[in-house]
Amino acid sequence: MTACGFSQQMRIGILTDYQLKKIKFNNAIGNYHVIADSNYLGLASSNDIIEINFLSSGKLVMNFKGNKYTSLKKISILSLFEEQCIQLTGINPTANGRLYEGDFELMATKSAIRIINSIDIETYLEGVVECEAGDAQKLEYYKVQSIISRTYAQINKNKHSADGYQLCDKVHCQVYHHKRLNTSVIDSAVCSTKNKVLSFENGTLAPTFFSANCGGQTCTPSQVWNEYIEGLHSFQDTFCIYTKQATWHKSIPISDWVSFVVSTYRFPIDDSLSLQLLYNFEQEDRQAFYIHPGYGIPLRDLREKFKLKSTYFNAKKEGEFMVINGRGFGHGVGLCQEGAMKMARIGYSYDQIIGYYFPDYIVK
Ligand SMILES: [Zn+2]
Ligand SMILES: [Zn+2]
């Protein structure tokens, strides 16, 4: 909930991956206007259930206050006041009840009910920050996450225009599975950074990549995606090296490792020096390629193929296995979440944290 005043509305596609064909709204805290195809049907309050079914004809059917409404194209459920919420549950297929603030617009797509949550951007961000950062962080960390997520929402507000909304509620955009539920520290963080975004000196919005743990050195976008992006550099991060996901280990059968590099990259396995290098790979500084670029094996390919937590690893043959000792979790570009959380815990302010991970950006 926000006590932050009204600002821009966002249209978020929610529960999009469920392909819901039957849903219900209930347990309203507050009252909602229910409107279908421009007809006002009444007020939904705490005891009412609004049940909506998808028909293969591309229309919706709604049961509300003992009446059945058929052949509907569009249903709107509009909140009377800010800070009220309602529970949305998937019946077919099942999806656990989730609480949302804001308004709802329901229409049929070719195969399911399209549910759009129309919500004030700052209230949306409260839900996003909790879903992305959990409920056990410091205020200054939540401020960082608020600014990053607000910037992302602004930059990507046309990402899903073909679907009829602005952002989805998944990792693809930003995770938004419900309203903010637990710590109200998040509301203070969002509110006290209201309208603040990351930008370049010239005022354009800046790209806001982040990952769980950089392993002690961040990556450049070209190391990860083969793409230059202004303002994102590789540097040593000392704040994340003793945290939860700082190191990891994995053993992979030699035969799997060898057959992948031979079949995919024609690795010269018959050459004794190459073989020795294949079995003893170390990277002190972060690299983009396994052994060296001449072999043409991007570390990101190995990460994807063998489901490694990061590309920041050493690999050594031990018996019949390649033993992988790695650092960090995620792509490593931009802000390192565990490093930033640590900075907040030991007393750095949000602008110092942002200045550390994004030295070329300004908070505006
Ligand atoms: Zn998306
Ligand atoms: Zn880090």
Give per-residue pLDDT as tens, 65-118. 999 999 999 999 999 998 899 999 999 999 999 999 999 999 999 999 999 999
Give per-residue pLDDT as tens, 299-339. 999 999 999 999 999 999 999 999 999 999 999 999 999 99
| pLDDT at residue 258, as a whole number | 97
* Dist. CA 170 → ligand 1 center (Å): 6
Ligand minimally distant from the alpha carbon of residue 12: 1
pTM reported for the whole predicted model = 0.89
Ligand minimally distant from the alpha carbon of residue 215: 2
Greatest alpha-carbon pair distance for the chain in Å reads 79
Structure-token match 């019949």, residue found: 320
Ligand minimally distant from the alpha carbon of residue 165: 1
HSE of 10, CA atoms in CB hemisphere, 13 A: 28
Q: Any idea where the domains of the chain sit in the sequence?
A: 9-168, 197-241+332-363, 247-327
* Dist. CA 224 → ligand 1 center (Å): 21
Give per-residue pLDDT as tens, 167-215. 999 989 999 999 999 889 999 999 999 999 999 999 999 999 999 999 9
Ligand minimally distant from the alpha carbon of residue 152: 1
DSSP character for 207? P
Q: Count of residues for the chain?
A: 364
- Write down the architecture of domain 9-168 according to CATH: Sandwich (2.60)
Q: Which of 179, 170, 180, 23 is nearest to 89 (CA)?
A: 23
